[in-house]
Amino acid sequence: MDAQLIHSLTAALAASPDNIALRLSVIRLHLDADRSEELNSLLAPLGPEDLDRAEDRLLIGRASIAADLPETALAFLTDDSAEARLERARALLELGREDEGTAEYQAAVRDNPALEDPGLAAQLKAFRPVVADDRPKLRVISNDDTMAEDLNRTLMPEQDRVTFANVHGLDKVKEEIRRKIILPYLKPSLFQKFRKRIGGGILLYGPPGCGKTLLARATAGECNAKFFNVMVSDILDMYIGESERKLHAIFDAARQQAPAVLFFDEIEAVGAKRQYSHEGTSAKVVSQFLSEMDGFNQDNQGVLVLGATNVPWALDPAFRRPGRFDRTFFVPPPDREARAAILNLELRDRPVAAGIDLEVIAKATGGYSGADLKNIVETASDIAIERSIDSGHEVPIEAGFLKAALEDSVATTLEWLTTARNYARYANDGGQYNAVLEFLRKHGKM
Ligand SMILES: Nc1ncnc2c1ncn2[C@@H]1O[C@H](COP(=O)(O)OP(=O)(O)OP(=O)(O)O)[C@@H](O)[C@H]1O
Ligand SMILES: [Mg+2]
């Protein structure tokens, strides 16, 4: 519809090129549709003197930036509104005038915190500078090069950007994460104005293979932040003091590369209560971790700390105190719709026979995790490969292969849910497992 509208209005403009209102409409449509190629010629006949209204000048300023004409943008963006300032910041950044851009950006956000844009701020380096760290440094014990290499390996950001669109189902969790994490992260000043606390950590928990890691990556993607995936077991080191040093270096790296999401997978490896504790984890590592997180409270601009665990009940309560992992989200097994979507996604790039009804399999896989469903598709693929080799021609995945794979498989979330039910019933301090209870009730498992 947009394309049609753009087409007919462009034709009308060609007939009466002096109609400024019409020209503005066409420009707006191009801008909204992300079509920047033709903006150049559309903008050429316009001068700032042609436009009386501030909103029109703002529009042309935006369009000029989209058309890579930052100088032109500045000629139009002469107002003192927060919106105009924000666009000026963008134009100045393009022109390499970061200092002026930063000043404009800061003035814009002061006037209207809702305009905050961490991506732009990071490019302008307008984030609050990291406070100098005057804590005594841990003494270097090992060779520093291995340390740097280690850290890079541990922190290597994932390549592709994953967003919520890649996470099927889990609508409730996604909505909550959006409201409670992504928004405050993107607009901290707005939340501060209303005296809402921001920062602290977020803990994702739930049965294995149901998308905790995926969801953490997607949260980073939605925030447009760098994603640092830390396997907690990688930090733990047998040498005294080494784990603490690695931890500190990781938090430091994230601070320096804000906006960033720091994700600690399998957090229980460091934060387990004594009776569950890893032999290697010392109380020192725990306290280092907690003090790094507390340190973030004073200076957490642009860094979000996420953790994930299968065993929330094993976590030391000290980790759950305010400002630490004080918000928890239950990541349940996928519902029927999500299961169909996951199966579909897994089968998408493989040879598949026509007319397979995935709904049937989705229906039969209650309690299966995303990872379980992936396994079913893997097994079905193995059968297809075997058949292909036997018959000498390519045999695609058939419904029967999926059925056979299904019969060979088990749902791995049920055991977890049974354990969780006991904790939810008998150790639900502060209602921390209410989401689990709700899930179990909804599925008639209480
Ligand atoms: N809701 C979902 N949508 C799409 N893919 C999913 C979903 N849930 C799980 N998967 C897929 O299943 C696999 C396992 O998911 P993931 O690693 O995120 O689970 P996890 O909860 O972190 O598991 P673990 O507790 O074992 O670490 C991944 O390949 C992921 O892409
Ligand atoms: Mg995981």
Residue 167 alpha carbon, nearest atom of ligand 1: 3
Which of 210, 263, 368 to probe ligand 1 with, by most ligand atoms within 8 A of CB? 210
Whether the pLDDT of residue 140 is over 50: the answer is no
> To which H or E segment does residue 326 belong?
strand 325-330
pLDDT for position 446: 63
| Per-residue confidence band for 189, with pLDDT thresholds at 50, 70 and 90 | confident
Task: Please state which of the ranges 59-73, 78-92, 133-147, 228-242 shows the lowest mean pLDDT.
Answer: 133-147
pLDDT band at 275 (very low <50, low <70, confident <90, very high): low
**Ligand 1 neighbour 334 (Cβ under 6 A):** yes
Q: How far apart are CA 333 and CA 335, in angstroms?
A: 7
Q: Is the pLDDT assigned to residue 378 strictly greater than 90? A: yes
Which ligand sits closest to the CA of 210? 1
Long-range interactions of 271-279: CB distance < 8 A, separation 24+: 271/307, 271/315, 271/316, 271/318, 271/319, 272/311, 272/314, 272/315, 272/316, 273/314, 273/315, 273/316, 273/317, 276/311, 276/314, 278/236
Report which ligand 1 atom has the smallest distance to the Cα of 331.
21
What is the predicted pLDDT for the residue at 186?
79
Upstream peptide bond of 118 is cis (omega within 30 degrees of 0): no
307 near 203, Cβ under 8 Å? Answer: yes
CA-CA distance, 55 to 353, in Å (whole number)? 55
DSSP code per residue over 114-172: GG--HHHHHHHT-SPPPPP--SPPPPP-S-HHHHHHHHHHHH---SS---GGGS-S-HH
- 8 A C-beta contact, residue 267 and residue 307: yes
Determine the distance separating the centroid of ligand 2 and the alpha carbon of 265, expressed in angstroms. Answer: 6
Rounded distance, CA 385 to CA 397, Å? Answer: 9
Ion ligand 2 — residues with CB < 5 Å: 212-213
Taking the CB of residue 100, how many other CB atoms lie within 10 A of it? 15
- pLDDT at residue 110, as a whole number: 86
- For 216, the token pair is 């953490």
pLDDT band at 231 (very low <50, low <70, confident <90, very high): confident
Taking only the tens place, the pLDDT of each residue in 38-49 is: 888 899 889 888
CA 446 – ligand 1 centroid, Å:
25
For 325-354, the pLDDT digits (tens) are 888 899 999 999 999 999 999 999 898 988
- C-beta of 342 in contact with ligand 1 (< 6 A): yes
| 168 within ligand 1 shell (Cβ under 6 A) | yes
201 lines ligand 1 (CB under 6 A): no
Ligand nearest to the CA of 211: 1
Segment 71-92 mean pLDDT = 93
Looking at residue 230, its pLDDT comes to 85
Give the single-character DSSP code of 222: H
CA nearest ligand 1 atom 26, residue:
208
What is the sign, positive or negative, of the torsion defined by CA atoms of 152, 155, 157, 158? positive
Q: Is 173 in the pocket of ligand 1 (CB under 6 A)?
A: no
* pLDDT at position 344: 92
Q: State the ligand closest to the CA atom of 331.
A: 1
- 310 CA distance to ligand 2 centroid (A)? 9
Instruction: Output the CA 89–ligand 2 centroid distance in Å.
Output: 39
Of 42-51, 91-100, 230-239, which gets the smallest average pLDDT? 230-239
The pLDDT score that the predictor gives to residue 244 is 83
- Cα 211 to ligand 2 centroid, rounded to whole Å: 7
pLDDT value at residue 385: 93
208 lines ligand 1 (CB under 6 A): yes
Q: Dig out the tokens for 63 from the structure.
A: 């369009």
From the CA of 163, the nearest ligand is: 1
For residue 344 and ligand 1, the question of a CB distance below 6 A is answered with no
State the average pLDDT over residues 387-403. 91
Residues 6+ apart with CB under 8 A from 324: 200, 201, 290, 293, 294, 318
> Cα 427 to chain center, whole Å?
31
Q: Measuring CA to CA, which residue among 335, 351, 329, 334 is closest to residue 395?
A: 351
How many angstroms separate the alpha carbon of residue 179 from the centre of ligand 1?
A: 22
More confident residue, 385 or 196: 385
Q: Are 48 and 75 spatial neighbours (Cβ–Cβ below 8 Å)?
A: yes
- Please name the residue whose Cα sits nearest to atom 11 of ligand 1: 370
- For position 325, what pLDDT does the model report? 86
Lowest mean pLDDT among 154-158, 316-320, 377-381: 154-158
Q: Mean pLDDT across the stretch 198-226?
A: 86
Work out the mean pLDDT of the chain and round it to a whole number: 83
For residue 197, the CA-to-ligand 2 centroid distance in Å is 28
Q: What average pLDDT does this structure show over 229-253? A: 80
Closest residue by Cα to residue 358 from 163, 166, 168: 168
pLDDT above 90 (res 248): no
- Whether 226 and 261 have beta carbons less than 8 Å apart is answered as yes
Q: Is the pLDDT of residue 192 over 80?
A: no
Top-confidence residue, 242 or 80: 80
Q: Whose CA is nearest to atom 29 of ligand 1?
A: 371
Strand duo 201-205 + 325-330: pairing: parallel
pLDDT at 128: 45
In this predicted structure, what is the pLDDT of residue 444? 74
Domains of the chain (ranges, CATH numbers):
2-124 (1.25.40.10), 144-330 (3.40.50.300), 336-407 (1.10.8.60), 413-442 (no CATH)
| Per-residue confidence (pLDDT) for residue 74, from 0 to 100 | 93
Ligand 1 centroid–CA 376 distance in Å is 14
- Regarding the beta carbon of 207 and ligand 1, being less than 6 Å apart is answered no
Apex 253 CA angle, 244 and 90, nearest 5: 160
pLDDT average, residue stretch 414-428: 89
Q: What is the predicted pLDDT for the residue at 159?
A: 59
pLDDT value of position 137: 38
pLDDT at position 267: 87
In this prediction, residue 232 has a pLDDT band, given cuts at 50, 70 and 90, of: confident
Q: Which of 17-26, 108-117, 225-234 has the highest mean pLDDT?
A: 17-26
Q: Is the CB of residue 209 below 6 angstroms from any atom belonging to ligand 1? A: yes
Contact indicator for 384, 351 with CB cutoff of 8 Å: yes
Q: Where are the alpha helices (DSSP H) in 2-155?
A: 2-15, 20-32, 39-43, 54-66, 70-76, 82-94, 98-111, 118-124, 144-155
Identify the band that residue 122 occupies on the pLDDT scale cut at 50, 70 and 90. confident
Q: What is the mean pLDDT of residues 361-386?
A: 94
**What pLDDT shows up at residue 86?**
94
